[in-house]
Chain A
Amino acid sequence: MAKLQFVDFGGTARMVEAPNGSTVMEAAIKNAVPGIEAECGGACACATCHVYIDDAWQAIVGPPTSMEEDMLDFAYDVRPNSRLSCQIKVTDQLDGLILHTPEHQA
């Protein structure tokens, strides 16, 4: 179990709980976190669950896989700390993770 904090483009933070083994995207959708669309439902096929990993957490979360990096080509306003939240599996190590959602998903 990990507590995840989503900070939207306007700066509003929302805290949600996510069970281990689920994805960050699933936690966002389950808790109706705005700014995450996840059109494809987690297939790494649409780039609409794009998030920015908070600077302090980048090393722990790690870089995208090559399939995810390919899909990030289709995301809006990609930055060095961009990830697709459907590809981040929740573990105890991610307790307290801070994620920023972009202005738009598409």
Chain B
Amino acid sequence: MSDVIKTDALIVGAGPVGLFAVFELGLLDIKCHLVDILPKIGGQCAELYPEKPIYDIPGFPSVTGQGLIDNLLKQIEPFNPEFHLSEMVASVESMGTATAPLFRVMTDAGTEFETKSLIIAAGGGSFQPKKPPIPEIETYEEKSVFYAVRRMEELRGCDVLIVGGGDSALDWTLNLQPIARRVTLMHRRDEFRAAPHSVEQMRSLVADGKMDLRIGQVTGLRGDNGLLSSAICRGSDNSAFDINCDAMLPFFGLTMKLGPIADWGLSLSENLVPVDTERFETSTPGIFAIGDINTYPGKLKLILSGFHEGALAAQRVYRYVYPDKRLTFQYTTSSSSLQKKLGVEG
């Protein structure tokens, strides 16, 4: 077990709102760590619409999702936030008091934090794999049906069925083909959205008889005690056939689920976290919620609202982190101390 990371603020979610909160907290000398379930920074902006223009960011007539994230990263660079990607906050335990909050936070990867404030900027929740419509698939999950490959070695010598037509499906087909006993790729149509060079490699492996490609959908599973023996399939021509397999890897993209936030003891309202509009604090002192994940009278799910919410939450976080200091309001245009923090002093 690694050492506990002590921090002033832990931000859950590295989307635009979580990133800008780093800026507002940084101006107040509050050090941040961020946790995000995705392997990359940027949340929905980077995952769902990196190339789509956004038209309602103040000061930007048009900026793409990825462009906004790149700019925010540049803006928060002076504050050196530390990112913990591909990790999900699994548990939150309160160790402090209402006036001096302290939380012990654990991720699913075993990283442990001790933080004076927790800022939930989780947007629509955590991105989690979509499940295909196959009856009783749950009984096989994590035993022989996997939505992610954690250790390739476990699939050595197995008959592996990979389902899907995107980059994840094709990448794992190519990665596992050399070590699996046999790889079968199944997709609902004979066209693939994955990168063309991966598709070419896959097709040449099929042509050489080194793997199988089947067009159709999996409709059922056969096996015992969660261990697969075969998948029941329907071809695009409605033919029925079975594919023998020890493991199935469905790759149908990601969807957003509230996830473990529901278990952190906060009051929730229809999968959103209610906050006050002065501090954007939840029912638990020291835990804040900003951006799409929160709700209050008049709430608008706009990135710009999340920026505002982060700025106000930061003021309250300061009181917890520096209880004995007085906070004087300053502008970045004129305050030499703020400019020093930003590394732009005249």
Contact = CB atoms under 8 A, between A and B. Distances in A.
Contacts of B264: none
Contacts of A70: 165, 193
Interface in B130-153: 130-133
A69 interface: yes
Nearest to B125: A39
Interface stretch (B68-76, B183-191, B283-291): B183-191
Interface stretch (A16-24, A41-49, A51-59, A87-95): A41-49
Contacts of A105: 255
A5 B188 CA distance: 28
B133 A103 contact: yes
Interface in B91-131: 124, 130-131
B166 interface: yes
B83 interface: no
B340 interface: no
Contact of A76 (B48, B130, B189): B130
Contact of B252 (A40, A43, A74, A103): A74
B170 to A, nearest CB: 12
B191 A46 contact: no
Contacts of B124: 39
A106 B130 contact: yes
Interface string A71-85: 001101110000000
A48 B255 contact: yes
A106 B187 contact: no
Contacts of A104: 133
A45 B52 contact: yes
A73 B52 contact: no
Contacts of B131: 106
A79 to B, nearest CB: 10
B255 A43 contact: no
Interface residues of B, number: 22
B246 to A, nearest CB: 25
B133 A45 contact: no
Given A70-B193, A74-B166, A78-B188, A40 B49 contact: yes
Contacts of B166: 73-74
Q: Give the size range of A's interface with the partner.
A: 10 to 19
Contacts of A77: 133
Nearest to A45: B48
A104 B133 CA distance: 9
Contact of A40 (B44, B187, B217): B44
B81 interface: no
Contacts of B188: 73, 78
Interface of A: 39-40, 43, 45-48, 66, 69-70, 73-74, 76-78, 103-106
Given A46-B255, A78-B217, 19 more contacts: A39-B48, A39-B124, A40-B48, A43-B49, A43-B52, A45-B49, A46-B48, A66-B191, A69-B189, A69-B191, A70-B165, A73-B165, A73-B187, A74-B252, A76-B252, A78-B188, A103-B133, A106-B130, A106-B255
Interface of B: 44, 48-49, 52, 124, 130-133, 164-166, 187-189, 191, 193, 217, 252-253, 255-256
27 contacts: A39-B48, A39-B124, A39-B255, A40-B44, A40-B48, A43-B48, A43-B52, A45-B49, A46-B253, A46-B255, A47-B253, A48-B255, A66-B191, A69-B189, A73-B165, A73-B189, A73-B193, A73-B252, A73-B253, A74-B166, A76-B130, A76-B133, A76-B252, A77-B133, A104-B133, A105-B255, A106-B130
